[in-house]
Structure 1
Amino acid sequence: MSDFDLFRINEDHEALREAVREVAEAQIAPHAAAVDEEARFPVEALKALTATDFHAPHIAEEYDGVGADALATCIVIEEVARVCASSSLIPAVNKLGTMPLILAASDEIKQKYLPPVARGEAMFSYGLSEAGAGSDTAGMTCKAVEQPDGSFVLNGQKSWITNAGESEYYTVMAVTDPEGERGRNVSAFVVEKSDEGFTFGALEKKLGIKGSPTRELHFDNCRIPGDRMVGGRGEGLKIALRTLDHTRVTIGAQAVGIAQGALDAALAYVKERQQFGKKIAEFQGVQFMLADMGMKLEAARQMVYVAAAKSERGDADLPFFGAAAKCFASDVAMEVTTDAVQLFGGYGYTKDFPVERMMRDAKITQIYEGTNQVQRIVMARQLLRG
């Protein structure tokens, strides 16, 4: 039964994992602590990921990409997050920003904006949340008013935008029909960094993922050509939520990677650290902690991979599985990283070891792309619909 492939990653995906891990350990991991300490964008990671086509692997070959499937993209993100969560947001956010185009844009828009990202010439961010419209996305106030020439003038702001300022392009959701039905009055647009009237707020000072800039997007009479609308008028929120069904899976992958990095560090430490005349790995209490960490991590990984397969196929139950993968994996990441710090004892509380950074980085996975409370609402709705 050696050829029984059910529930086994194929050779191509395993080879990909090895390739990404080699790049991550050699070219990204050495800079991870400095990226966090200095709160600077991981330029070394961007260079390494771009050189190996791991920066936006999901983009199809027809748009100059490598055409990696959803599982392969998750493996890339997981392996990068294992050493540096901030760096893993390069491929993760490139997928988040471009997914609305992949799902709903005209071929003209795809041909214009996807190839530069695939070639590593630009990054793509996603503008949905606002200060007063986080979980309640339909409550956004950013507006795009149509002009006689068919263009739209954008006014308002977006909050907590990942890689803002570094990305060249932004998918932005804005209200185009203020008197229309709530949730069906939003349209999506591509905004370019160079557009007049488009500026960025100050860098947010964050608990974790400090190497990935988080800033507000400000629009002051920013004129957008009408042909940059993604999908139809009034379809923006639907496109945004469909996007999140797919990209929540990548956040699950990021969470799995962070947790794996913390478990790896903890395992190495307990095999070396001695107390009471023996290595602490020999104590049953420590072994039980490690067993729970490994068990929950593997369960999270399997859930993420199943959700990735459903994303690739476009299965009808993706909304449930995407939410479940993100929710479960991020909760596991928070637990595993916290336990890793505990296993390190006082050393774990210092910046001399990576586990405190991993614990701080893990927290955001429970929050962005929909809090885990929102994920549970999504799951419950899907279950009740039958």
Structure 2
Amino acid sequence: MCSGDKMEMELSQEHRLFRDSLREFLAKEVEPIADERDRKGPLSKGEVLEFFAKFRKLGIGYDPESLSVYFEDPFYYGIASEEISRVWASLNVVLGMSFPVVFVNLASDQTKDAMMPKLEKNQLIGCLAATEPEAGSDTTKLKTTAELDGDEWVLNGTKTWISNATVADVALVVATNREMRMQDMFLVDQVNSPFETSELHKLGWRAAPTGEIYLRNCRVPKDNALSVMIQKALSSGGMVEALPIAASISKLYAYMSPLSAVFCLMRSGMALMATGISQAALDASIAYARQRKAFGKPIGKFQLIQDMLYKMAAITESSRLLGYKALYMIQKGDPKARYMSSLAKGYACEGCVEVTYNAIQIHGGLGLSDEYPLERYFRDARVMTIPDGTTEIQKLIVGRELLGKGFSAYT
């Protein structure tokens, strides 16, 4: 999709081959079971690992071999986010939110010894633990603390609405470093630093496990602080040598905090995830408008139906372009990646709510039936506007980025 400093509107041949292989897999292995399995609720750990094993055959995963391709070019990540979500959004959540496992290679010897064998087989599940019961959008008010005690950090706090919490082997926990009086992230693994979890249920993404994490005097090796891991990587030759990611992506850490850099990729992925849901709803609506008859003719001939389809198509195409534009900036290591990823996330996630709403309206009573995927698309879309920063927070980030320093709405 990218050539030099120009952003092309067409996928490269390699990207198309990857997308087509993924589509074939999803049509054969996932689409036939998505509706029925989603009704049963959160995937078990065994089910997640089965999907991870299948995705690895397509080159999708966080094991060192897959990662060197999957994140060397972030467009592969974007294509996967869109295509998987077009079929089953919950599955994309499970896969996408497992990304903290990539930091295992930079962690302490204890964590590497326990976790690397699983990671090398793409059988390691991760989660990002940021949100708290009294701190969601305002990440400056987190109460989880990390206090240094000898060669270990002692973590205390509660995290909530954490994707993959109940099945995760590794958690990247955002906490306040009491020594430095600043936020940091700490890699916690269930073998050396076990933590308790409980399950939460939600409107959409029903098959994606979500829960609370309880950290009670949880002891973590000193080397598992993300600031320490990044510094170690930089001093030993650079992030690229330590993690097989594009050199340009590592530049983001020079412009923004580690949490903001992580959110750039996550929010771009969320934008394309929303695009996938919108595309699924649009495709279903086009097919239905062609074959469903009312008043003696296909409903697709009615102007109001065509008006809805127009709006749905415009939102879907715009969301796709914004999402890939954000990934393009991330690939370049452009400091404006924060602005573009928030713009893409806010627009695409709000947009897919409108698209799925119209899709249900076009389908009438059938759109309300749980025998068809339209109601699942709508429920999944409605969740999209909240995780990884609500739409309101995205607007404030975009506003601050447009206006410059001194115009932050947070203060």
Residues 60, 66 of structure 2: 8 Å contact kept: no
Verify: 1:50 aligned to 2:53, yes or no: yes
Q: What is the count of residue pairs matched by the alignment? A: 375
Which among 26, 29, 52 is matched to residue 27 of structure 1?
Answer: 29
Q: Does the CA-based 8 Å contact 1:58-1:73 persist in structure 2?
A: no
Q: 1:78 to 1:385 in 2, by over 3 A?
A: same
Letter in 2 for 1:299: S
Instruction: Work out which of the residue numbers 82, 87, 90 in structure 1 matches 2:91.
Output: 87
Report what 2:185 is aligned to: 188
Map of 1:200 onto structure 2: 197
Mapping 1:144-293, distance limit 5 Å: 144-148=146-150, 150-177=151-178, 181=181, 185-196=182-193, 198-201=195-198, 203-232=199-228, 238-293=257-312
Shift of 1:156: 1.1
Structure 1 runs of 4+ off > 4 angstroms?
42-46, 58-65, 104-115, 233-237
Q: Which amino acid aligns with 1:189?
A: F
Match of residue 249 from structure 2: none
- CA separation of 1:62 and 1:348: change in aligned 2, threshold 3 A: closer
Task: Return 69-78 or 230-239, whichever deviates more.
Answer: 230-239
Question: Contact 1:27 / 1:44 at 8 angstroms: preserved in 2?
Answer: no
Q: Kindly report which structure 2 residues correspond to 1:313-324, keeping only aligned pairs within 5 A, or say none.
A: 313-324=332-343
CA distance in 1, matches of 2:344, 2:120: 26
RMSD: 3.0
| Cα separation, partners in 2 of 1:266 and 1:63, compared to 1, 3 Å | closer
**What TM-score do you get using the length of structure 1 for normalisation?**
0.88
Amino acid at match of 2:60: P
* 2: CA distance, partners of 1:289 / 1:70: 32
Inter-CA distance 49–11: structure 2 relative to 1 (3 Å threshold): farther
8 A Cα contact 2:274 2:352, kept in partner: yes
Deviation at 1:47, TM superposition (A): 2.6
Summarize the Cα distance change of 1:176–1:6 in structure 2 as closer, same or farther, 3 Å threshold.
closer
Alpha carbons of 1:48 and 1:174: their partners in 2 closer, same or farther (altered >3 Å)? closer
Bigger mean CA deviation after superposition, 166-175 or 316-325: 166-175
Give the conservation status (yes or no) of the 8 Å contact 1:98–1:124: yes
- Deviation string 1:9-33 (CA, Å, 9 cap, x unpaired) is 1111111111111111111112211
- For residues 131 and 107 of structure 1, what CA distance do their matches in structure 2 show? 30
Q: Distance between the aligned counterparts of 2:7 and 2:335, measured in 1?
A: 24
Q: Per-residue displacement from partner, 1:290-327 (whole Å, max 9, x unpaired)? A: 11111111011011011111112211100100101111
**2: distance between equivalents of 1:190 and 1:34?**
35
> Quick check: 1:332 aligned with 2:335?
no
Counterpart of 2:98 in structure 1: which amino acid? N
**Cα 1:282–1:142, aligned 2, differ >3 Å: closer, same or farther?**
same
8 A contact 2:111–2:192 mirrored in 1: no
Task: State percent identity of aligned pairs.
Answer: 28
Does the 8 A contact of 2:23 with 2:83 survive in 1?
Answer: yes
Q: Distance in 1 between matches of 2:66 and 2:286?
A: 42
> Can you give the 5+ residue segments of structure 1 that lack an aligned partner in the other structure?
none
Distance 1:114 1:340 in 2: 44
Following superposition, the deviation at residue 115 of structure 1 comes to 7.2
SS in 2 for 1:82: helix
Residue ranges of structure 2 left out of the alignment (5+ in a row): 232-252, 406-411
SS of alignment partner, residue 187 of structure 1:
strand
